[in-house]
Amino acid sequence: MATPNPGGEREKLVSKLPASLRQALKVRAAQLNTDVQDAVTAGIQSWQARTEPLPTVDTSGAESFGTWLPEGLYDSFKQDCSTRGVSYIQGLAQAIALWLDENPAGDKQPTRRLIVCNQKGGVGKTAISAGLAQALAEDGQRVLLVDYDPQGHLSHQLGLRAIPAGQESLVTHMLNRDQAKHSLLDLTVAIEGKRFADRLHILPAAFDAFLLDSGLTIFRGPRHAALERALSPLEDHFDVIVIDSPPSLGLAMDAGIYYGRRRDGEKPGSSGLVIPVEAEDTSAQAYGMLINQAVSLVKDYDVDVDQLGLVVNKYDSRRGFIATSSLEKWKALGTPPVLAVIPDLKEQREAVRLQKPLLGYAPESDQAHNMRQIARGLA
């Protein structure tokens, strides 16, 4: 079926694709910083331009797939499928396979690093980190969610215990990696759920993370690169790494911001800072302090750190003028953009109580859709 969008410029494509092909499409589009709908459009147009028969694609087990096409392309594609004697599902699968062949990943972009941060506590860093990671994994990407906060709320909310003091953890790999006996990858835990299909893993918090700042003070190596030094061996295993940062402006946060810097050859906007805020005055003050820290680090190490966007969390217009005017001020910044405004609803609290992922517990809730909106805004 074709359903015109409100602007009348695109039509909804609804069909089926094998899960492996759908995942390959989403991952390749992310690698090339291309919208999925544009990739599908290019694939169909390339398919239509081919005169020789294309190899048959195995479409057994194909699942529902939808995207948007330029107006008129849907009907012409269906007609071409009929003329060539292939089913619509087979034609689409051939078009996607053709696009993948014609658009190789080339030089692999660095694993994306999304640093969810704000030195003010209680703004929802943990909820945003978890929801964003879930949305990315649901969308077909391999995601590592790192509990970098010594309070360990993220680990607890997903039913995991923090790693006991003295055992190998992110902290020990940051400060004493040369003495580590195990890979950090062995410490990651898969988050269960059909939506994530073993694509979402978490690196739990460590009980001794409270000592990280003091440990970095006497660290003999480059302190600002300690987090990258620990996590770099894991990057080949994941498409995205999401960091739930501590509510502080200390050395650990310096290492987090530096880890999210734009690397040589990396496309602008691929990695950087995602900043949860609230629609009230103290949140604006905390945001200013965080940005000052980031600006200082940029100058000290001559790097670029992209502010990818703000998430206005726990918004409730019934709180009156302070809330509504603060929201308008956040939107008026323009850069970084407001990725989503998330209302203060019950589903997130219920998921935390049950120690379940939000997108698994309430996948059709407004908050779940907000998390997907953030992920799309970062594509």
> Given the structure tokens 């849907």, which residue do they identify?
74
Residues 317, 281: Cα–Cα separation, whole Å:
15
DSSP for 233-245, written as a single string: GGGGG-SEEEEE-
Q: Strand 189-190 vs strand 272-277: parallel, antiparallel, or unpaired?
A: unpaired
Strand order in the sheet with 307-315: 189-190, 200-203, 143-147, 240-244, 112-116, 272-277, 307-315, 338-343
Running DSSP on this structure, what letter comes out for residue 4? B
**Side-chain-side CA neighbours of residue 16 (13 Å):** 12
> Given the structure tokens 């006497």, which residue do they identify?
218
Of 208, 174, 18, 32, the residue nearest 107 (C-alpha): 32
Q: Strand 112-116 vs strand 200-203: parallel, antiparallel, or unpaired?
A: unpaired
- The CATH code of the domain at 112-377 is 3.40.50.300
What pLDDT score does 8 carry? 47
At 345, give phi and psi (nearest 5°): -115, 170
Which residues pair with residue 203 across a beta bridge?
146
pTM: 0.74
Residue 163: strand, helix, or coil: strand
Q: How many CB atoms lie within 10 A of CB 8?
A: 8
What pLDDT score does 108 carry? 65
Residues 52, 269: Cα–Cα separation, whole Å:
39
Over residues 247-266, the pLDDT tens digits come to 888 899 999 999 999 998 88
Q: What percentage of the chain carries pLDDT values higher than 70?
A: 97
Over residues 308-356, the pLDDT tens digits come to 999 999 888 888 888 889 899 999 988 899 999 999 889 999 999 999 9
Buried residues in 131-162 as b, exposed as e (16+ CB within 10 A): bbbbbbbbbbbbbbbbbbbbbbbbbbbbebeb
